Amino acid sequence: MNETAESLSNKPGVEEPTVAALLSDVRGRLRSAGIPNSGLDARLLVGAALRMEIEKLILYSDQRVDGESVHRVQALVNERVRRVPVSRILGKRDFWDREYKLSAATLDPRPDSETLVGAALEQCRQSGRGTIRILDLGVGSGCLLITLLCELPGSVGVGVDLDPGAIATARLNAETHGVGDRAMFLCGNWTDALWGKFDLIISNPPYICSDVIATLEPEVALYDPLLALDGGRDGLIAYRKIIASAHPLVSENGCVLLELGNGQLAAVSSILCDAGFAVKSVNQDLSGISRCVCATPVAN
């Protein structure tokens, strides 16, 4: 049986472990704790503790690790065993090939949300417009809005969130990625007090049914903010609020793009149609789930 990182650091007379041995021990401890993807998590945690890119862990696999570094690894592993997500431990998440800082007020971005970014860029390509105005409702870390601003130079955007902590995190990420001068962040309730027209209105709203949240993986239920998860009894409250107020804010040739939960396409499409929108396209994620719906306003 593999020794844990803790045993390696505390056992008298034990030679300093190699990077390879440390990785093996951490992987074993995570696996024993029932942590999914234990191999990847072990590489990420050991790499962070050793301040080493994970690609270099193999290159330096025979290098000895001093006791202080082993203790740093141990501290990170202890958090992961408590089911704190790796992204929360490290305070960052990669999204669309960029790194975004996280906070307790922000949802941990999932790869599924990249589906919405791809759909938005495709809409821009089809329209032939490279410079647009974007509104992101429930901006969180800012990963959606900031990614689009980076991919569409010259475009401008507004991000809205009810939590001031999320606004602060999104603003920091915008500055980090060089789009702070093209992004405005407002603390507010969806579209309240907004005016003007936007070519793209995007949102990854809370869409999980209230009574399902407690059954989610601990990494989600315990560490993602409830405000970003809870979609009410049927998971559709946020969609109703956003869609009901979106029509006056969409430009004549603009569109609304909404991330969807699994199985929500029909219900959200119905809400859109009742509010004067026509569904233009539906995009699936890598698992084949309908993850994003694009709708355009119907002319009166």
**pLDDT 10s digits, 132-182:** 999 999 999 999 999 999 999 999 999 999 999 999 999 999 999 999 999
Is there a single domain that holds both residue 153 and residue 59?
no
Note whether residue 114 is domain-resident.
yes
Last residue within a domain, chosen from 82, 110, 143: 82
- 117 and 76 housed in the same domain: no
Q: 58 pLDDT band (50/70/90 cuts)?
A: confident
Q: How do residues 221-256 score in pLDDT, each as one tens digit?
A: 999 999 999 999 999 999 999 999 999 999 988 999
Q: State whether 131 and 244 are in the same domain.
A: yes
Q: Give the residue from 32, 61, 82 where a domain finishes.
A: 82
Share of the chain above pLDDT 90, in %: 86
Residues 274, 143 share a domain = yes
Do 225 and 99 lie in one domain? The reply is: yes
Residue 87 within any structural domain of the chain: no
Same domain, 58 and 103: no
Same domain, yes or no: 20 and 69: yes
Beta strands in the chain (DSSP E): 92-95, 98-101, 133-137, 156-161, 183-187, 198-203, 250-259, 277-284, 290-297
- What CA–CA distance (Å, rounded) separates 93 from 118? 18
As a whole number of angstroms, the distance between CA 247 and CA 258 comes to 14
Q: What pLDDT score was predicted for residue 14? A: 56
pLDDT at residue number 3: 42
With contact defined as beta carbons under 8 Å apart, do 272 and 245 qualify? no
Domain at 226, CATH number: 3.40.50.150
Same domain flag for 183 and 261: yes
Domain ends where: 57, 82, 107?
82
Q: Tally the domains of the chain.
A: 2
Domain identity same for 104 and 150 = yes
Q: Quick check: is 18 in a domain?
A: yes
Mean pLDDT of the chain: 92
**pLDDT of res. 128:** 80
- pTM: predicted TM-score of the whole model, two decimal places: 0.89
For residue 38, give its domain range.
5-82
Specify if 135 maps to a domain. yes
Q: Are 61 and 18 in contact (CB under 8 A)?
A: yes
